[in-house]
Amino acid sequence: MLRIANIEKRFGPIEVLRGVDFDVDAGEAVALVGDNGAGKSTLMKIITGVYRASGGEVVLDGRTITGIAPGEIRTLGIEMIYQNLELAREQDVTTNIFLGREPTRRIAGFDTGIIDHAKARREAERMVRQLGARVPSVDIRVGNLSGGQQQSVAIARALTFSPKVVIMDEPTAALAVREIEHVLQLIKELKGRGISVILISHRLTDVFEVADRIVALRQGKVIADEKTGETTMQRVVSHIVGAH
């Protein structure tokens, strides 16, 4: 369904990705693990079009999507929770959740561009509640939220628009125990609905709980691509730290 073929990325003289290949099937959850600086986030940003690859291509349902604008890729059904969240701090929770997807009022089929704020607000509240997130109000400025609350907003944003693929870059880093459970639960639900998930996480217990396959990246190359059932926590750790 989603195929990453020989992706390379250089920032000036620095080679960050040196030919990365892997696929994700529909309804599959693939965990992408690797040391800090291995290139995980960079790779994911190439998929969503935020970075331009120096080489290689990304294929979604047979269509090459490398070089397309992030907005279009999002329209094609790839959502991502960015590691730094990419929230608009001055704006409220509702605005952030619906950013780029604002429901607008139509008059005679013509898009007026006027935001249906009441609807957006309702939906935003629903999503936040569904995540079990402790966000005091969807009218609050996101910059005033706590770290975990901000992360919940970013998660809600990625899941509001029934995507085909969800990329999660450390979605639970700032979350409390119960919220983490919710997210893991959610990932399982997504899989059940045929949605693919790429999960980047340093929490291997979580990875083992939800992932079908584990891809390990080291210094910009895939060094292992194993079924969850056929590997062990120790093996994965050794892939990450490069112990063999």
Partner 1 sequence: MAMEHRTTAPAPGLRWTFAHRRGALRIESLVVLAGLVVAMSLSSPVFLNVANIFNVVLATSTIGILALGATYVIGSAGIDLSVGSIMAFAGVIGALLVKTLGLPWWCAIPGCLAAGLLAGWINGIVITYGKIPAFVVTLGMMGVARGVALLITEGQAIYGLPAPLLFLGQGRPFGIPMPAIVFVVAAVLLHLLLAYTRFGRHTLVIGDNERGARAMGVPVRRLRIKIYMLSGLMAGLAGLLTMARVNAGDPTAGMNFELAAITAAIIGGTNLFGGRATVFGTVIGALIMGVLQNGLNLLAIPTFWQQISIGIVLVAAVWVDQLAQKDKE
Residues lying near ligand ATP in the complex (CB under 6 A) are found at 11, 14, 16, 34, 36-42, 83, 136, 144-149, 174, 176
Q: How far apart are CA 53 and CA 59, in angstroms?
A: 13
Q: Tell me the C-alpha distance between 154 and 151, whole Å.
A: 5
Q: Residue 150's CB: how many other CB atoms inside 10 A? A: 21
Which residue in 6, 61, 64, 75 binds partner 1 (CB under 8 A)?
75
The CA distances from residue 41 to 56, 59, 119, 187, in Å, are 17, 18, 33, 19
Q: Which stretch binds partner 1 (CB under 8 A): 28-36, 94-102, 124-132, 179-187?
A: 94-102
| Site map (CB under 8 A) of a second copy, residues 210-239, x = contact | ---------------------------x--
Cα 170 to Cα 112: distance, rounded to the nearest angstrom: 37
DSSP designation for 146: -
Residue with tokens 């079908």: 212
Residues that bind a second copy (CB under 8 A): 11, 14, 34-38, 40-42, 83-84, 133-136, 144-149, 151-152, 169-170, 173-180, 202-204, 237, 240-241
Residues that bind partner 1 (CB under 8 A): 10-14, 48, 50-52, 69-72, 74-75, 80, 82, 85-92, 95, 99-102, 104, 112-115, 117-118, 121, 137, 139-141, 144, 157
